[in-house]
Amino acid sequence: MLAKRFFDLALSVILLVALIPAMILTACLIRWKIGSPVLFRQTRPGLNGEPFTLYKFRTMTDERDEAGNLLSDEKRLTKTGRLIRKTSLDELPQLINVIKGDLSLVGPRPLL
């Protein structure tokens, strides 16, 4: 368990440093095309059901209908968001979750 945590921590720090330029460009693109906030935050259950905040780049707008309800995912997903998802750039902020110990690089992702 300790070896896996060391592996996660070491590799995620290296990846985060190496991918900072891609993350900055992605954040700028999101800010320009979709708007603020750039990061999507969601509370999910972690180890032993302990909640944590998952970080991802935003790929959808917050558009709502006349009643104030969010539109369907298909209508809110932008062309830019589709590209970010297709290239998996939206997942890069999860390296912060790995460094914090909320996630592991290898293993299942917590569902809602």
What the block records as the tokens of 87 is 């290239």
pTM recorded for the entire structure: 0.86
Q: Is 18 exposed, middle or buried (0-12, 13-18, 19+ CB in 10 A)?
A: exposed
Q: What is the pLDDT of residue 31?
A: 96
Identity at 107, one-letter amino acid code: G
The count of residues in the chain is 112
Any idea where the domains of the chain sit in the sequence? 2-62+73-100
- pLDDT above 70: percentage of residues in the chain: 100
Q: pLDDT tens digits for 36-50?
A: 999 999 999 988 888
Q: pLDDT tens digits for 83-99?
A: 999 999 999 999 999 99
